[in-house]
Structure 1
Amino acid sequence: MSQNTFKNKLKEGSSPKGRSGKTIFSWMEEKLDVKKILGEGVPVQLVPPVGFVALLALIYIYSNLRAENKIREIEKAKQAVADIRADVTTLEADYMKSSMQSEVSKRVAAFELYELNQPPVKLEIPKK
């Protein structure tokens, strides 16, 4: 039985899936010229401290964004409380005005009930 072999369908100088041979990493390496900065490779002993600093930076950014969102929520809540407080004050003033004797007499005039102009009379029933 013969052995399985793979055919090389790529032409020389081309890359898989029709790409031009450059990846984003090779482009970054070309543009940033990492070899001038770091030499031939990245020093392995620098990876943990740099990773830790990057993690701290991400935590700092996350906490700042979260704090700003909370501040916006608090400001919205303060505005809502101020609006409700104004509504309550208006309703209380309307209620106090509507419960005045002159306002009540105006409303019951439609039912032909009028305010007395003389003091009430006390009726006394003699005991037997």
Structure 2
Amino acid sequence: MSQNTFKKKLKAGNSPKGGPRKTVFTWIEEKLDVKGFLGEGVPVQFIPPVSFLVLLALIYIYSNHRAENMVRKIEKAQQEVEDLRADVTTLEAEYMQSSMQSEVAKRAAALEIYELNQPPIKIEVEQ
């Protein structure tokens, strides 16, 4: 059976492999090779204003995208309204045509109901 032993505690800032711990900034330095134009590393004092500008740019892009979507929806709704208006106009014209006396007489003739050619007669009843 093996003996119990104590594990060695890691010092702050070191990885378990013994090298320095990688942070976001070291990753950025490695991937972008910023030492060439920034010198030693990424200046931390520039991060808040740059992140604020990035946030403003994202808000601008989002609002522009929503505005374009809203314009597309409005144009689609306007086209639909125009189509419905044309349908209503057509139906009104058909209704007005079919409710004319001559058209009603033609449909009633199919049921063998004909128009009177003489005026109506008043019937009087004596009490």
Aligning the two structures, in what range does the TM-score lie when normalised by the shorter sequence? 0.7 to 0.9
Gaps of 5+ in 2: 8-26
Structure 1 Cα separation of the partners of residues 52 and 28 of structure 2: 25
Structure 1 Cα separation of the partners of residues 118 and 108 of structure 2: 18
1:96 corresponds to 2:96: yes
- Deviation string for 1:14-44 (max 9, x for gaps)? xxxxxxxxx9974x42xxx422221111111
Match in the other structure for 1:107 = 107
Match in the other structure for 1:40 = 40
Correspondences of 1:61-100 after superposition (within 5 Å): 61-100=61-100
Structure 2 Cα separation of the partners of residues 105 and 118 of structure 1: 16
Residue 113 of structure 1 aligns to a residue in which SS?
coil
Structure 1 Cα separation of the partners of residues 109 and 28 of structure 2: 87
Structure 1 Cα separation of the partners of residues 74 and 36 of structure 2: 50
Identity percentage of aligned residues: 66
Task: Calculate the TM-score normalised by the size of structure 1.
Answer: 0.74
Structure 2 Cα separation of the partners of residues 85 and 4 of structure 1: 85
Length, aligned pairs only: 106
**C-alpha RMSD of the superposition:** 2.1
Structure 1 Cα separation of the partners of residues 94 and 28 of structure 2: 70
Structure 2 Cα separation of the partners of residues 115 and 39 of structure 1: 104
